[in-house]
Copies of this chain bind each other. A is one copy, B any other.
């Protein structure tokens, strides 16, 4: 331990190390509930690639595990410390190194905050789409590690789609460059994509080349009320079947709507069983909203309210953005699931989730990136009640089982971390798991990088 600190200090400035137990405690875990976290030996905040290399060389020499971290806004415990580990926080490596308008790329350090990048590129007419709900605080490095999604995915895809190339410090401290700055390239296996979503288990991302798009027109949003979740899901299917390309297509079930109302006094329709929000950032969004509004009515919508302008649209989105926080206030605790199914099965997923809630006599509010088939069922329970807690855990698992049964995945965008470790093998199967472990072994033969996560 003294050896570890001494070796780290030999090539790091004093202010790059934190050993105060109270401060270290704040670095012990991300925002996932009910995920075990250990006590780090030290928290290191490097500012340069060389410093990261020094940390990894030291870790390898002394066989100390390393847990890389961004802003710790993750929801699966992937950034949780393990006992005696080095917490490697990349938040101080926060420079935007380059924004190229012709090439439509940005080159950034991992600690750049998503919103900071989004605003910087918008100033020159460009757009970095990935927008996880933590976008005001989460970092690009964390987004890459967890392959974050967001509201825009239905049109613009997830973080993975925007990572062209990486610089990565390997477990032994060597520097690897992957990918490219070009629009395309096929030289060898796609190592870049392997790192996206790897939850820090293969290497430490110290630089990223990101693809950008032209800034689209501001989106206009429509809200539609439905008498049932099934009717709203039917509308989603009709919208996609007709070839529309909404820039967002979000669903809040009745429980979520009422929870948001209770918290915000927003005056959302209390009696609705599902609120669908559809957005378009096309040249003529009003026309698209009109067409989609008709499809909603055909699917049974009782009310369709198109926003008059961007400001009104933003207000509608606020309701959606408050969903998770509002549901957290329903009971003393929540477990947030993240099951993604083929969108044609979204209705089955919502009906099945409601059945699980009834069976276990629990409140489960669902908000969903409906256009992606990605649901976030939020299981609300009283932590002081052991039986209710047990039922909550059981329903959380049953929701994942249902997702797999419907041809979906246990995690659309939140990742595996420690929360869904046991479920990963179920989704991947033994052959897939063996190969995943083989890849881990190739990149990190000593198993020092974020041990105990994923599998």
A positions within 8 Å CB-CB of B: 100-105, 125, 146-147, 149, 153-154, 157-158, 160-161, 170, 174-178, 180-191, 193-194, 196-198, 202, 213-215, 237, 240-241, 243-245, 282-284, 340-344, 371-374, 407-416, 420, 424, 427-429, 431-433, 435-436, 438-443, 454-455
Partner of A214, one of B100, B243, B413: B243
Known contacts A194-B189, A240-B104, A442-B435; A183 and B371 CB within 8 A of each other: yes
Q: Is the CB of A190 within 8 A of B184?
A: no
Residue of B nearest to A284 (CB): B283
For the complex of A and B, 3 pairs with smallest distance between CB atoms: A214-B243, A438-B442, A185-B409
- The answer for the CA separation of A184 and B368 in the assembled complex, in Å, is 13
Partner of A181, one of B158, B342, B429, B455: B342
Q: Is the CB of A188 within 8 A of B436?
A: yes
Known contacts A104-B240, A193-B190, A342-B103; A412 and B185 CB within 8 A of each other: yes
In the complex, how many angstroms separate the beta carbon of A212 from the nearest chain B beta carbon? 10
Q: Is the CB of B184 within 8 A of A149?
A: yes
Residue of B nearest to A282 (CB): B283
Known contacts A161-B161, A182-B341; A188 and B454 CB within 8 A of each other: yes
- The answer for the CA separation of A441 and B445 in the assembled complex, in Å, is 14
Contacts of A440 in B (CB 8 A): 189
**Number of copies of this chain that the complex holds:** 2
Known contacts A373-B182, A413-B186; A176 and B432 CB within 8 A of each other: yes
Residue of B nearest to A211 (CB): B157
Known contacts A431-B174, A435-B443, A439-B442; A197 and B190 CB within 8 A of each other: yes
Of the listed residues A176, A438, A439, the one surrounded by the most CB atoms of chain B closer than 10 A to its CB is A439
- The answer for the CA separation of A136 and B216 in the assembled complex, in Å, is 34
Partner of A411, one of B157, B185, B443: B185
Known contacts A175-B431, A176-B435, A343-B103; A197 and B186 CB within 8 A of each other: yes
Given contacts A177-B429, A182-B407, A184-B374, 16 further A-B contacts (CB under 8 A): A105-B342, A158-B184, A161-B161, A180-B409, A182-B408, A182-B412, A183-B340, A183-B372, A187-B420, A187-B424, A188-B424, A189-B197, A214-B245, A435-B442, A438-B442, A442-B442
In the complex, how many angstroms separate the beta carbon of A228 from the nearest chain B beta carbon? 18
Contacts of A102 in B (CB 8 A): 237, 240-241, 342-344
- The answer for the CA separation of A103 and B341 in the assembled complex, in Å, is 10
Contacts of A177 in B (CB 8 A): 429, 431-432
Residue of B nearest to A244 (CB): B214
Q: Is the CB of A185 within 8 A of B240?
A: no
- The answer for the CA separation of A324 and B126 in the assembled complex, in Å, is 35
Q: Is the CB of B344 within 8 A of A431?
A: no
Q: Is the CB of A428 within 8 A of B183?
A: no
In the complex, how many angstroms separate the beta carbon of A131 from the nearest chain B beta carbon? 14
